[in-house]
Structure 1
């Protein structure tokens, strides 16, 4: 079974291609918690710089040094390996005297930036924003003014707030697994893995509804029956759909094609929620650097930089995206 990840573009399919992540420094991400650690509590907070290392591997190294289980390590989200990133980790160490020498983690690819303590473990989505600096190399731009106008439109008007392809796994494999769970009754003992698969299914249904709004060219405007003061689409789960009228009819027309997925998600304990369908970066700017273009912008927790990039250029990269979301 295959699931299409070719979601419609808001500004038409790009006619420019660029080299993406030729080296780790081409993709920089700084994670912002949005709050300051209290300075006391049972969890040690480590602010870490890393280059070319994935989040799970760093978490394992922290657990090894602290002599705790990997499950005692918390973080807000996975960051891509082929990148230069800063992010926060928490370590459950209730006894202060057990704290190790954190400088032993330092290497050419990992640096401890700061350390503090706080009252709770970091969990997925606990951070407020991620700030990006992305260098796209050698874009084959024919009409420079047209391309620059496209960049301005994306930054000024935003893009459809799709979940990025990394949410769905390599070649959409997470969706195949989700189908097996929701439709075929497959059991997965690993709760974290099962949660990721179900999240992929929920995200895919959201993208299907958003795709319909993009195709109808009404994704940037409120339509009759919207339950919020801004355009949204459902994250499916237990409970009554909060939209009505035209909005509800559009959503159900799409979701009626996925009855087994909807029923399955309702029985997993997930609650009905809504998510904004417009993704508009903040602090956005761009400039030419020699023959390359450098983009700077900030996104909220759970928003995808690749969703911005796909509207600008066809990305040419041999690097597999690892993050489930940043």
Structure 2
């Protein structure tokens, strides 16, 4: 996949991430008051090296229910230590004895009841606590810049699959291949993400990724709401500088690329004509902020390691922050690649 343009230029640091799951910790942030009633058990779970979908299936099997009756707000990194909520529909009023659930890498820390299932996207965001090892170079300037300016809101490389496999899947879908629902979702998400990232990279290149332009769609901070910017006045400029508003890019679909849209978006889409045309047959256009606010950023240098923590909204990728700090190697992905090459 492309090495998309960074806001701060080529990083001066090198580091390694995810040499151990404990180096990459994710804690879900959710703003739902549980009512203590109803037919759903909500579980606050600690997972290590565990896929979110896999755990949902295991919880359904334990409860003797369909997987669709288990809810979770979002997928978390597998090669990590993560904390997140799951909801499990009670088959009977008696509920379940979660103390006897034994799954590798999984610990139920808290159980509560609620009247509603946990829906995808219901969380506000995630807290990331990361350890970058074998750090070379001084990250202080980059960290200060990120704290004040935010970072380009790129989709992470995991969205595209190994060697861009999900983009190939999208091309086969648009060529007429029938896919299972989950595979089709992966393909569509990857195709939209590629066009978005290329639009964002173009805006980074011309220095407008953090500025509103006439014809832009402004996205409200912490919201999916957006509005068309006909002209940019002092009030809009100030709101953008204050992170109340962000410029946005297209999640391509039907309705994208209209004549009154930004030329830069239409130009990028033409370079991905097959993907753009295919997406218009399967999904509606949406918008995503080009800029990502990094909340609660804190860090400490520990000899040749960098320990850092920050909050991001749901749908944002920690790697968008890391790539502005260091040219990093991912220990988990390197180990997986080596294993595939050796056939073990």
TM-score by length of structure 2 reads: 0.84
Note if contact 1:5-1:165 (Cα within 8 Å) is conserved in structure 2: no
Partner in structure 1 of residue 263 of structure 2: 249
CA distance in 1, matches of 2:256, 2:51: 39
Partner in structure 1 of residue 234 of structure 2: none
CA distance in 2, matches of 1:170, 1:34: 34
Equivalent pairs, count = 308
Partner in structure 1 of residue 239 of structure 2: none
CA distance in 2, matches of 1:225, 1:109: 49
CA distance in 1, matches of 2:273, 2:288: 20
Partner in structure 2 of residue 79 of structure 1: 76
CA distance in 2, matches of 1:275, 1:81: 25
Report the RMSD for the aligned CA atoms in angstroms. 2.0
Note if contact 2:11-2:327 (Cα within 8 Å) is conserved in structure 1: yes
Q: Which runs of 5+ in 1 are unaligned?
A: 322-326
CA distance in 2, matches of 1:66, 1:263: 43
Note if contact 1:227-1:243 (Cα within 8 Å) is conserved in structure 2: no
Cα deviation for residue 169 of structure 1 reads: 0.9
Q: Which runs of 5+ in 2 are unaligned?
A: 219-244, 335-344
Matched, 1:125 2:121: yes
Which range moved further: 231-240 or 127-136?
231-240
CA distance in 2, matches of 1:75, 1:48: 11
CA distance in 2, matches of 1:187, 1:43: 35
CA separation of 1:311 and 1:240: change in aligned 2, threshold 3 A = closer
Partner in structure 2 of residue 170 of structure 1: 162
1:181 to 173, 183, 189: 173
CA distance in 2, matches of 1:202, 1:43: 34
Partner in structure 1 of residue 86 of structure 2: 89
Cα deviation for residue 230 of structure 1 reads: 2.5
Matched, 1:232 2:248: yes
Partner in structure 2 of residue 13 of structure 1: 10
Per-residue CA distance 1:261-309 (angstroms, 9 max, x = gap)? 22221221x2221111001210111111232111110000000001100
TM-score by length of structure 1 reads: 0.88
Structure 1 runs (4+) deviating above 3 angstroms are: 240-244
Per-residue CA distance 1:154-206 (angstroms, 9 max, x = gap)? 22211110000011111111111011112x11111x21221121111111111
